[in-house]
A and B are shown apart, each in its own frame.
Chain A
């Protein structure tokens, strides 16, 4: 069964450093998402991406964050200058239909645990 994969599974970085989190969505999917979960808090939406553009972003997704689909298979989240509060589990998800069709299901990867020291 196709699945979303994410690398690395764990990343430790120093405050102020740039990190890139990588995701390989399911191959025929067109809609891509990033979510994060700070320890002890809810999973929260960061950004959605379709047709090489951001469709929607949350208040969390400020200028320090960017997303890119550099080729036909990868979807990346970049944090330019990490802060301590960026420490979280980051989940990538993909789907093949928009929610407005009421048939969308988002499939999630296993997550990347980011620790900023």
Chain B
């Protein structure tokens, strides 16, 4: 079985400061991990994904995430927040090798607020 825990329901930062959104996962098989972002009244947009290649994954809009198997973590970071980054972020896991082909399991989401 797979599960995802996002450690913060809300994160608030000032524009220009670093962003850290934390995610821990549990998976019985080799996981694929994703971060999706949802802006108000918009669909879920893929930020980045890890699928067993490089452990440091770069995504769109300057975001990146590092897969740490020993810590079962996949935290999302950005060096400098922009006002347009304000949104809800979802950490997502998908198992490969299990019986659940295609099923994504979502974390509960982290709302990022960016102050001027």
Specify the chain A residue showing the minimal Cβ separation from B34: A105
From B44, B100, B102, B103, residue with most partner A Cβ within 10 Å: B102
Specify the chain A residue showing the minimal Cβ separation from B90: A43
A110 to B40, CA, bound (A): 10
In contact, B43 and A102 (Cβ under 8 angstroms):
no
In contact, A55 and B44 (Cβ under 8 angstroms):
no
Total contacting residues, chain B, CB less than 8 A: 28
- A91-B101 CB under 8 A given contacts A42-B106, A43-B90, A103-B51: no
Cβ contact of B94, chosen from A3, A4, A99, A109, cutoff 8 A: A99
Q: Which residues of B contact A111 (CB under 8 A)?
A: 43
In contact, B52 and A102 (Cβ under 8 angstroms):
yes
- A104-B32 CB under 8 A given contacts A4-B43, A42-B109: yes
In contact, A43 and B102 (Cβ under 8 angstroms):
no
Chain B interface residues (CB < 8 Å from chain A): 30, 32, 34, 36, 41-46, 49, 51-52, 90, 94-97, 100-109
- Listed A/B pairs (18) with beta-carbon separation below 8 Å: A31-B102, A43-B44, A43-B106, A45-B105, A48-B102, A55-B102, A56-B101, A56-B102, A58-B103, A99-B94, A99-B96, A99-B101, A102-B52, A102-B96, A105-B49, A108-B36, A108-B44, A110-B41
